[in-house]
Each structure stands twice: as structure tokens, then as C-alpha cells.
A and B are shown apart, each in its own frame.
Chain A
């Protein structure tokens, strides 16, 4: 069972298992109480711009980093990190974040 909230608040549900029955025996419901809290993703990206300056063609600039900081109370899933824009083919990037950034304890 997984919890996939769509709302940012405490959420509850009940898993109702209904089983049994048959000759002379009742069908019995047993509940499992489910709780969780949906939280909004809160994160910061720093810096918000990188300037590589003038770089001679056919050479590669010195690498620069962008840091993604999870400021929320739940794990921050990383959906994607990719280059976009008019000249995105002139740059390359490597993602070291993985698929999620854990919340700061």
C-alpha cells in the first residue's frame, strides 16, 4: 500500500478487509486505520543564474554547480533536471541529486 496525496493536510482513510462467511459463520469486516499528511514541495535552487563568461569555441568551461535544497517536511521527489532554451545544445549537465532529496531532519 502506498500513500500518494493530492491535498496538503492531514489525511485519513480506512482499509476495510471483509472476509469469512460460509455455512454458519459470519462475514467479518476488520478495518486498518491509515493516516498520512500531504505536504507541498518546498525547495530552493541556488544560484538562480550562472554566467560562464567568454569561452573559446571547441573548449569547455570550468564546471559550475546549482544546489537544490529541500525546505519542506516531506521527501522532495526530483521529477527531472534538464536543459531547455534557445541554445541548450551548447551546454551539458550532470544530475547528482538522484530521484529525490530527503527532508532535513
Chain B
């Protein structure tokens, strides 16, 4: 009898790992800062799917699948509205998959049907945000966009992660009105990832085309996780479909210990429509109460909100982070300024932001897109540190002295990342010295704005010393290249593997390799036709205590002859 190896590692049930949206998995005991070199780490396998992946994959260990045993499972959502469950350890064919559009006799929405020029995107609008899993019930909540009666409809689905079934019935259409504003699905995108706050599933909406301010508002919605009935709705701007989108480069709302949720809103239509302190809140951090219909509890609005609105400097190009062990809410947007706010009184509005705990330029005037992340660490690990890698800037790490972030940065990298910068995740074994790795996806080549697909690059840095890059895919690009960048999407690390979404219709899976091959290239030079060169050898070294199972030689041009010996 072959017993499946069971993981003792924790899960990744949401983007950002925890309710603080720290971006740190603190239960990683396999990968550390010392074991990524010497060819020991690389691409293990790829998981093909049916469309681009904009959502971060999620991971749950030890899931009992009916009639298929227990698996560590990776959940992948695509823009074709398909949700996959894969064996996270070995890949292969899906354990199950379900197309959420077909469940309601619909299809995903072709981008050409809903995009407003000049925006251009190929393929479909389906699942654009990262779902959230309730580990206590094994239910995954996901918002899918479907084409129904020739119009775009958003539905919230609740999926049993063991089978792909919908135990609470078919997905519920998302509607809403607030303060005179009415939610219009065809004009909205659901980019912000989902979060759980108590019994509520919380998410938001932004624009289909930001240039068309008269078509959309920023929305935050809450649905009861057991009944799928709407329990709260909030529009960031109610005056004339004036903008204020909540997209956060895909980050989820942060949820504090009191159950309050925090989101950032973005640009409003230029001309002073954005803020009035009553029911219009562009360029704001919003504190909402999901147990009370998403009532607005508190807010902070940038002093220069009107300038931000006019010049596309919106705050919602990233999302909030609650700094563990403090009362600080931290985050910033396209101005590159990080705001540190006191969650007990986040400050409302003043003309010069004098009411905030701190405002600090953390990316040399460039944009914050998708960052920051945070590792508590310890004094021995140079922690705690907040990391950010802005567009067209270098990676930077900022210490925190208990109440404010320290400037200048305590450490920084040397390589500049083009738009959108580096999108992070941290893996570490708590605050154990030597365990912290800062992972980032960047564009491998300079990427234009808009949405052209560009090759993606995966990097690993020593989280204690970010000037030290431990690994990147160019060290063995033939083996480790993996496709196009899933913009604003961080790698996800769980149980010794790194899962990377792509726009190449696949998820790439990295890990410590069971064997090494050396050298990784052979050059035979010039050789006269018809005659054999001098022999060269490739050595395969088994790093584990198992047999090498097979050997293949694929010849694409050379007349080559393998002389390898299994070891």
C-alpha cells in the first residue's frame, strides 16, 4: 500500500496570506536562504489551464477528495471562468475542474464585448480576482464575470473545494445601489481580491475603462458567506458615476482584529468631484464595518486628492497593509508616498496630511503598484522590514522603530524593475534567522503600460539582506523560463514550492530539485561533417534517496549520442 505523504504546513487561503495582507508565509520550513543555489532550485512542472491566470493560486493541504484520497491541493482560477483543483505536489491532470460560466448556461465575457476604447485586451474577462477559501467550511468564494443575455454579469459563487460543487446553489448575481448610485456590471471590473471578515465575504469594484468616469463608481460589497445574500454595499462616490474605483492592483481588503475592513479608492473625475467628506471619497483609505452593512466608520483622504484625480495619481494602485503588532495601517499609490495611519483614528482630510502618523516617499517618486509586504523577523534578521519595489525603481527595505518607518531604507537592491515593479511575497519559518526569502515577479523586459504580454521574471532575495539575490530564472533560463507576466500577481509559496501564475495559460511550479545536472550546456565547437567529435559527459547527481527513473535524449539537430550513466 502506498501512503500519500501528508503535509504539516499551513494553507494559503487568500492573497496576502493573512488578514493583515502582510504577504508573508511564516510557515515555510523547506525553502530557506541557504538552499536555493548551486542548481538545486528550479522549475519542477507546469500546470496547463484554459485561459490567462490573473488570480493568485491558492493552497490547502490534506484535502479529502471523494474517491481520490487526500491531496495537498492547488486551486487555480482562469479568465475563462474555470476553477481547477490540482495536486499541488506532483501536478498532472486536474483532480477536478468546473467552469463557473457553464453552471449558469453562460460563457466568459469576450473583452471586445465590454472594453471601452482605447483599452485593448485579448481573450476573456472571467475570474479577474483572487478567490478566498474558508478553511473551516472548505468553501471557496469566487467572483466570475459571465456573458448573459448579451451583457456582463458578475456572480459570487461558493464552491466546495473537495469536489467543485456549489452546495449553496448557483452563483448569485451581484447588484447594488447606494446613495443614489446604482451598480452597473458592464462598466465595472472586479480586480480586488476577496477577503473574509467574520461571516462576510468582502470585495470591491473599479472601472472597466478609467477614462470613462461617467460610467462607473468604486464599490465595496459584502455577502453573507452562508446564505450568499448581500449584507453590505458601499459606493465610494455617489455623485454622477464619478469614479473612485477600488482595485488595489488586485490586493484584498485588510481586516483588523475588530472585523473592520480597509480599502483604498482611486481617481475621480477631474474637476473637484472626488471628495466632499460626506459621500464622495476618492483617493481615500476607507474603514468599513461589514457587520453593519459596510457602514463607513472612518476615512483618510489625501490632502492633494483633487490633484491626484486630475493627474491619474490614484491611491488605489495598491492596497492597505496592517502592520502586525501595531495599530498602523500602511500603504500608498501612484505618488510613491507611503501613508502610515492609526487605525484608531485614520484621520479624515487635511490639506497637508499633517494628521497622519507618517507620510514617506518609499520609491523615489515612482509608483507603488502591488506593494508593500512585511516580515516581522527579529533583531537577528534585521527585522522588522517593510519591502517595496516600485515601478522603475530598485527594491527597498524599510525598518520600523515601533511607531514609524525609518528613512532612508535600511537596505536596497541594485536592479531597476520596469513597470509595474516587483510584486512580492515573503517565505520564512517564523522569524528564524536564515529562513527568510523575498520573492518577486517582474517584467523580464521593459513593459509598456496598457496590457501587452511580456515575459515574466521570478527572483528570490535574501529577506535579511535584499542586496543579495539568491536566485533568478536567468541562471538557467532554458529550464526555468515560464511564460508571460501575470501583472500585479505575486508568487505564492507553500510547502516547499513556489507557484507562479502566468498569462501563458499555465501555472509554473518551482521547488528544490531531486537531482542536479552538470553542466547545463555543452559546446562542441566546429566539427567536420560525417565524423564524431571528442566525447563530452553530463553528470546527473541524485540529491535524494530515490532512484533515477528514466532518461531521455531529445535531438533537434545534432546527431548526438547520450553516454549518460544513471547514478
Contacts and interface: CB of A to CB of B under 8 A. Distances in A.
Interface of A: 1-8, 11-41, 72-77, 103
A37 B525 contact: yes
B112 interface: no
A5 to B, nearest CB: 5
B135 to A, nearest CB: 21
20 contacts: A3-B532, A3-B560, A4-B561, A5-B528, A12-B556, A13-B560, A15-B554, A16-B552, A17-B551, A18-B551, A19-B515, A19-B550, A20-B514, A22-B546, A27-B90, A28-B513, A30-B479, A30-B515, A36-B524, A75-B531
A13 B530 contact: no
A16 B551 CA distance: 8
Contacts of B91: 26
A7 B560 CA distance: 13
B528 to A, nearest CB: 4
B89 interface: yes
Given A14-B554, A15-B554, A20-B514, A7 B528 contact: no
Contact of A27 (B42, B531, B549, B555): B549
Given A19-B515, A77-B528, A1 B557 contact: no
A3 B559 contact: yes
Contact of B556 (A4, A13, A41): A13
Interface in B475-513: 478-479, 509, 513
Contact of A3 (B519, B520, B533, B548): B533
Given A23-B4, A37-B525, A32 B552 contact: no
B562 A3 contact: no
Given A28-B513, A41-B529, A3 B524 contact: yes
Nearest to B5: A24
A19 to B, nearest CB: 4
A35 B522 contact: yes
B379 interface: no
A-B pairs, 4 with minimum CB distance:
A36-B524, A24-B5, A3-B524, A33-B521
A34 B423 CA distance: 34
B380 interface: no
Given A26-B90, A33-B522, A8 B529 contact: yes
Contacts of B526: 36-39, 73-74, 103
B45 A14 contact: no
A5 B550 contact: no
Q: DSSP majority for the A interface?
A: strand
A85 B90 CA distance: 68
A5 B525 CA distance: 11
A75 B526 CA distance: 8
Contacts of B352: none
**What is the size category of the interface that chain B forms with chain A?**
35 or more
Given A1-B538, A6-B559, A22-B546, A35 B524 contact: yes
B563 A1 contact: yes
Q: Which of A11, A17, A29, A41 has the most CB of B within 10 A?
A: A17
Given A3-B560, A14-B554, A14-B556, A26 B530 contact: no
B512 to A, nearest CB: 10
Q: Which of B523, B529, B564 has the most CB of A within 10 A?
A: B529
B453 to A, nearest CB: 24
B553 interface: yes
Contacts of B536: 1-2
A6 to B, nearest CB: 6
B517 interface: yes
Contacts of B527: 3-5, 36-39, 74-75
Contacts of B45: 26-28
Contacts of B560: 1-4, 13, 15, 34
A71 to B, nearest CB: 12
A38 B451 CA distance: 43
B556 A38 contact: no
Interface string B411-444: 0000000000000000000000000000000000
A13 B555 CA distance: 5
A104 to B, nearest CB: 12
B528 A41 contact: yes
B44 interface: yes
A28 to B, nearest CB: 5
Interface in B84-124: 89-91
Contact of A76 (B2, B89, B528, B561): B528
A37 to B, nearest CB: 5
A36 B553 contact: no
A14 B292 CA distance: 61
B522 A1 contact: yes
Contacts of A103: 526
Nearest to B517: A30
Contact of B478 (A3, A14, A36): A14
Contacts of A1: 522, 535-538, 560-564
Given A5-B530, A17-B551, A34-B558, 6 more contacts: A20-B548, A20-B549, A30-B513, A33-B522, A34-B524, A39-B527
Given A19-B551, A27-B549, A12 B519 contact: no
Nearest to A77: B531
